[in-house]
């Protein structure tokens, strides 16, 4: 069973803090990993993609990948109330041409 | 440029009726995906198209569900003899190829009474 696991939350952080979102995946063949943000009632939008071990930074967002531990994370620095949303982790399976499988998402709440 | 569009945005139907959901991908995107998202749940993969071919139909939940894509562009997801458990948001996404980044449409909210 190919799975992507996320803590459903809610994860609550104060404004200005670092929010840390975690994800594990079961398929060692996965090569591509994505974080999507989904506001309530809206469709998912891409935040970050990562393909290599290590960190990838884009503005206030940092994605981290550890293939040995089959672990992906997303850090949001200087969290803002507008970051409050559900964050979906996705990993491809079935090799380089495989489909994406999504986690159920972690709900983040940033309190002013 | 234009993103992925879907129609209708909302659909209310009676149990047993057939429904058709439409997806217009981003121009030039060869790959197209259909997902289903029930309330408070994650994304459930339904079917994937590369061009007009559907090499992966593994996610279709039953033979009441079918999809086609014509001209390498527009796709239609058809649900026959709808059931109440089919109520969900149906999302379409497209990408330049695989496993490229997928861009999602706004979804069709289906309610089966």
pLDDT tens digits along B44-81:
889 989 888 887 788 899 999 999 998 889 999 999 99
Q: In the prediction, which pLDDT does A85 show?
A: 96
Q: Show the 3-state SS of A63-78.
A: EEEECCCCEEEEEECC
3-class state of residue B109 by DSSP: strand
Judged by a CB distance cut-off of 8 A, whether residue A43 touches chain B is: yes
Q: In the prediction, which pLDDT does B99 show?
A: 60
Q: In the prediction, which pLDDT does B98 show?
A: 61
Structure tokens at A94: 């079935």
Interatomic CA distance for residues A4 and A64, integer angstroms: 15
Contact A92 B99 (CB under 8 A): yes
By Cβ distance, the residue of B48, B101, B105 closest to A46 is B101
DSSP A26: S
Provide CB contacts within 8 A for A68, sequence distance 6+.
A53
Residue found by looking up tokens 């996320």 in the block = A6
Of residues B96, B85, B82, the one with CA closest to residue B21: B82
By Cβ distance, the residue of B42, B98, B102 closest to A104 is B42
> What percent of chain A has pLDDT above 90?
77
State the pairing for strand pair A100-102/A85-92: antiparallel
What's the pLDDT band for A63 if we cut at 50, 70, 90?
A: very high
Q: Which residues of A touch B42 (CB under 8 A)?
A: 88, 102-105
Q: State the average pLDDT for chain B.
A: 91
Contact A96 B99 (CB under 8 A): yes
Is residue A47 within 8 Å of residue A82, measured between CB atoms? no
Q: Which residues of A touch B106 (CB under 8 A)?
A: 42-43
């Amino acid at each position: 069973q190919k799975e992507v696991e996320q803590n459903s939350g809610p994860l609550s952080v104060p404004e200005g803090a670092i929010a840390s979102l975690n994800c594990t995946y079961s398929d060692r063949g996965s090569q591509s990993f994505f974080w999507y943000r989904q506001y309530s009632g809206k469709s998912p939008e891409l935040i970050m993609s990562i393909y290599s071990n290590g960190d990838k930074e884009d503005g206030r967002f940092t994605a981290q990948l550890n293939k040995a531990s089959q672990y992906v994370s997303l850090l949001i620095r200087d969290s803002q109330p507008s970051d409050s949303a559900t964050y979906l982790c996705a990993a491809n399976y079935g090799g380089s041409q495989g489909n994406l499988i999504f986690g159920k998402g972690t709900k983040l709440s940033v309190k002013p | 440029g234009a993103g992925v569009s879907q129609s209708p945005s909302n659909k209310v139907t009676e149990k047993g009726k057939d429904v058709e959901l439409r997806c217009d991908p981003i121009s030039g995107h060869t790959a197209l995906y259909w997902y289903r998202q029930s309330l408070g749940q994650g994304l459930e993969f339904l079917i994937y198209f590369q061009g007009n071919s559907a090499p992966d139909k593994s996610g279709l939940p039953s033979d009441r569900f079918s999809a086609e894509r014509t001209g390498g562009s527009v796709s239609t997801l058809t649900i026959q003899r709808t059931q109440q458990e089919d109520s969900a948001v149906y999302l379409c996404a497209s990408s330049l190829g695989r496993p490229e980044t997928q861009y999602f449409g706004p979804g069709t909210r289906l309610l089966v009474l």
